[in-house]
Amino acid sequence: MAVHDKYVALAKRLIAKHGRDLLFEFVQPGATDPDKPWKGPSPVPPVVKGPLKGVSVEYKSSDFGSKFLNEELFVHCTEVILVAGGQEVLEDCAIVIDDGERFGVKAIQRLRPGGQTILYAIGLGT
């Protein structure tokens, strides 16, 4: 058992109990045709991971995250969701889909003491 396994398990349990299913979309750059570089990269279908449980946090009227999160997350985002670590790597996520509604990812921060991610805080915007 790694040092922080119990905290990852706690985050998963609490978020699963109070969260909802979210999908995470990753956009991958396509290859550029060397004969027609002016057309840019060819489109590649996005990769969707999930569903993973996440909880939305009301942060605008509280002191939430003032010690843990970067100020940028609060300035540029309309909503913050928390997702437990230990499931998928979410650092390169571009879009979060919640009940069919798509939100652009503005910032991602993770609580990662040592080499183990316990929690992701993902800032969303429209």
Question: What pLDDT, on a 0 to 100 scale, did the predictor assign at position 63?
Answer: 57
Q: Say if residues 52 and 43 touch (Cβ distance below 8 Å).
A: no
- Whether the model clears a pTM of 0.75, i.e. scores above it, the answer is yes
CATH of 5-30+41-125, one of 3.40.50, 1.10.1660, 2.40.10, 2.60.40: 2.40.10
Q: How many CB atoms are closer than 10 A to CB 47?
A: 13
Query: Could you list the pLDDT tens digit for every one of the 126 residues in the chain?
Result: 467 788 888 888 999 898 999 999 999 888 888 888 888 888 889 999 989 999 988 766 555 555 555 566 667 788 889 999 888 899 999 999 999 999 999 989 888 887 888 899 998 986
Question: What pLDDT, on a 0 to 100 scale, did the predictor assign at position 120?
Answer: 93
Q: What is the DSSP string of 1-35?
A: --TTHHHHHHHHHHHHHH-EEEEEEE--PPPBPTT
- Rounded to an integer, what distance in angstroms lies between the CA atom of residue 118 and that of residue 126? 26
Query: In sequence order, what are the beta bridge partners of 57?
Result: 80
